[in-house]
Structure 1
Amino acid sequence: MGISNVSAAMSRSARTTLTALLVAGALCARSNSSFAQSTPQRPKILGLAHIALFAHDMDQSRKFYSEFLGFEEVYPLKNPDGSLSMSFFKVNDHQYIELSPEKQPDTDRLSHISFETDNIEALRAYLASKGVKVPDQAKPVRVGNLAFNITDPAGHTVEMVQYMPEGETEKNYGKHLGPNRISTHMTHVGIIVSDLEPEYKFYTEVLGFKETWRGSSNGTVLSWINLKAPDSDDYVELMLNKPEPAPTKRGTAHHLCLVVPNVNQAVAKLKATSYMKVYSKDIDIHLGKNRKQQANLFDPDGTRTEVMEPTTIDGKPTPPSSAPPPQ
């Protein structure tokens, strides 16, 4: 074979190889693109929607959250017999405290926590793709929003909700925001965790939360981890307890936190309410381990409301604890 024929054959071979590589690359790119499109993406998690609590005495608990904390009670829900099924206390347009009657003795007072999303069906599909057990579809709740429940590794019920135009939440935007509110924002909720690793992975790797701080009450064992929602400054506080306290002793750990610009002024406002005639506990203003001024309040069932300033006493960040979690 002549030199020119050899060159031509090599050229044809090179072109064939190049073409094959280009086709393979295109198919691979198309496959990757198709895979990316078929893998659900997490929609936004916009922050805390509510904390739902049980009350042994609804009348007394309603007074605590309305007369003492100053939140307006909105659209109470009734049972078929006319008795109260659930009541909502409005913190702001996107956040509520829910109360439901539950008179069984020796039970936990936390019903569930809830996060708001901008696309409930996309979130349901995303969680399903991550192996989280979800219902077949989100369903309307009694106040007109779309929601579904999941269970986190620690056994807590977590409700995901999307506020809908026809729902009571959106229809009441700008309403029931009275001047007596002790706070206008619920910055976090606390939930008990005994087995840290699966709970931490669930909130960080599945839901996309990010750790912002961890602390210890005694310097030797880790007590709390703060995990911030991906599209909000709201966070869930993992309260590390091993073993878990008895159901009737969980009210301090299972809690909500209301942020206030000045705790001293907030406590003075609380002490000026008529509810102080029946509130028997001391209100102690103290500096927390996170170096933020705070005070603790307890509803008639013993569930704690933490009232806390947004920044540390000197504006400097508090170093995280290096203590190990409880074993």
Structure 2
Amino acid sequence: MKGRFSIVVMTLTLAAAIACAQRTPSDSEAAPSGIAHVAVRVSNLKSSRAFYEKLGFEEAFALDQGGSPTEAFLKVNDTQFIELYPQRQTGEALGFLHVCYLSHDIKALNEAYRARGLSPTAVSKGGAGNMLFSMSGPGLGNIEFTQYMPGSRHSSDVGQHLGEHRISTRIVGIAFPSNDPKGAAGFYGGGMAFVRRGHNEFSIPFDPADAVEVLPAIEPLRLTMEVPGLKQAARDLHDLGIPVKHQHNALLIYDPDGNCIELKQAAAQQTQPN
């Protein structure tokens, strides 16, 4: 009896191991793991660079075409960036362009989205050396997904360009305008499987601390960033000569094109004095 029991246990263990090796990654394993970057088109790249650098965000690197800058990467932390695109032609819309989400397994994420009936592009290597894909949804335009790769411009800059006096070290939310808020919200809560946390507001499945909100088209882009203390942040901004709008539990500042940066106190610090 004992020998027969051992054989049964071994058989079940082997079957479980085979099933584990062959199974498709779950949605949670294939989910985005956070905000990688937010891309914004600006009217004057020099002025926008100066504004964000005044806030302590250093430029990690830039891309150019024919000697003309096409994209500047301002570093928030080793995995999060603000990408600034200059307006190169009259009539190009200013403001929010796209958001890019970080993935630990971009091929699994791509496959998971295809399995849900979505149409992501094939995974390919981008200009900065990372693997990426994109897709679009109603009222959303382009949505990007990336996995940082060894040797890429982002990975090669780890530990560098982390401004000592950054006003914040983490983007925790993005609220972006859409010409179809209902459709965009349905896309995020449906095929993309983000977790609804309010009206047209969602959490990233792998990192519920990060929020995504869909706004009406008339609203400006809003980035939400953590600060250790609101009082100290207000003093720092005053010293920098940057106008501040005080809102309940937040500070609002605006870049040269009217995009909003919302500063909120880090959750771990909310019960501590500023």
Q: Would you say same fold, with TM above 0.5?
A: yes
Q: Which residue of 2 aligns with 1:284?
A: 245
- The answer to whether the 8 Å contact 1:45/1:118 transfers is yes
Give the alignment partner of residue 98 of structure 2, picking from 112, 135, 140: 112
Alignment of 1:44-55 (within 5 A): 44-55=31-42
Deviation at 1:169, TM superposition (A): 1.4
Q: Which residue number corresponds to residue 229 of structure 2?
A: 262
Q: Which moved more, 1:171-180 or 1:190-199?
A: 190-199
Given candidates 249, 261, 265, the residue that maps to 1:305 is 261
CA separation in 2, counterparts of 1:207 and 1:133?
A: 11
Does the 8 A contact of 1:49 with 1:115 survive in 2? yes
Pair 269,51 (structure 1): closer, same or farther in 2 beyond 3 Å: same
Q: Aligned partners of 1:298 and 1:107: how far apart in 2?
A: 18
Counterpart contact for 2:202–2:211, Cα < 8 Å: yes
Partner Cα separation in structure 2 for residue 238 and residue 132 of structure 1:
19
Partners of 1:257 and 1:118 lie apart in 2 by 23
Which structure dedicates a bigger proportion of its chain to strand?
2
CA distance in 2, matches of 1:119, 1:175: 25
Taking the aligned partners of 2:136 and 2:130, their CA distance within structure 1 comes to 20
SS of residue paired to 1:165? coil
1:284, distance to aligned residue in structure 2 (A): 2.0
Which one of 206, 223, 241 corresponds to residue 231 of structure 1? 206
* Cα distance in 2, alignment partners of residues 170 and 90 from structure 1: 12
Matches within 5 A, 1:310-321: 310-311=266-267
**Unmatched runs of 5 consecutive residues or more in structure 1:** 1-32, 215-223, 288-292, 316-327
Partner deviation per Cα, 1:163-207 (whole Å, 9 max, x = no partner): 001212122222211211000100000022465554333223322
Amino acid at match of 1:60: S
CA contact under 8 A between 1:47 and 1:235: conserved in structure 2? no
Question: What is the identity percentage for the equivalent residue pairs of Structure 1 and Structure 2?
Answer: 28
TM-score (norm 1): 0.69
Cα distance in structure 1, aligned partners of 2:157 and 2:92: 36
Matching of residue 58 in structure 1 with residue 14 in structure 2: no
For residues 216-239 of structure 1, the C-alpha deviation after alignment (integer angstroms, 9 at most, x for no partner) is xxxxxxxx5431111112120222
1:77-226 map, 5 Å: 77-79=63-65, 81-103=66-88, 104-105=90-91, 107-135=93-121, 137-193=122-178, 195-212=180-197, 214=198, 224-226=199-201
Structure 2 unaligned spans of 5+: 1-18
AA in 1 matched with 2:61: Y
CA contact (8 A) 2:237 2:244 kept: no
Amino acid at match of 1:44: A
Q: Give distance in 2, aligned partners of 1:197 and 1:155.
A: 11
Change beyond 3 A, Cα 1:102–1:196: closer
2:130 aligned partner, one-letter code? N
Q: State the secondary structure of the residue aligned to 2:73.
A: strand
Larger Rg: 1
**Mapped partners of 2:269, 2:77: distance in 1:** 26
The answer (yes or no) to whether the contact 2:117–2:191 under 8 Å persists in 1 is: no
SS at match of 1:131: coil
Any idea what SS the aligned residue of 2:206 has?
A: coil
Looking at structure 2, the residues matched to 313 and 88 of structure 1 have their Cα atoms a distance apart, in angstroms, of: 29
Q: Which amino acid in structure 1 is aligned with residue 202 of structure 2?
A: L
Distance 1:271 1:285 in 2: 12
Aligned mates of 2:164, 2:269 — CA distance in 1: 26
Q: Retained in 2: the 8 A contact 1:262–1:309?
A: yes
Query: How far did residue 261 of structure 1 move?
Result: 2.1
Mark the CA change 1:187 to 1:303 in structure 2 (over 3 Å): closer, same or farther: same
Secondary structure, in 3 states, of the residue corresponding to 2:162?
coil
Q: Is the 8 A contact 2:228 2:269 kept in 1?
A: no
**Aligned equivalents of 1:195 and 1:101: distance in 2?**
26
Q: Please say if residues 40 and 85 of structure 2, whose CA atoms lie closer than 8 Å, have aligned partners that are also in contact.
A: yes
8 A Cα contact 1:190 1:236, kept in partner: yes
Is the deviation greater in 107-116 or in 56-65?
107-116
**1:242-261 maps to which residues of 2 (within 5 A)?**
244-245=217-218, 250-251=219-220, 254-261=221-228
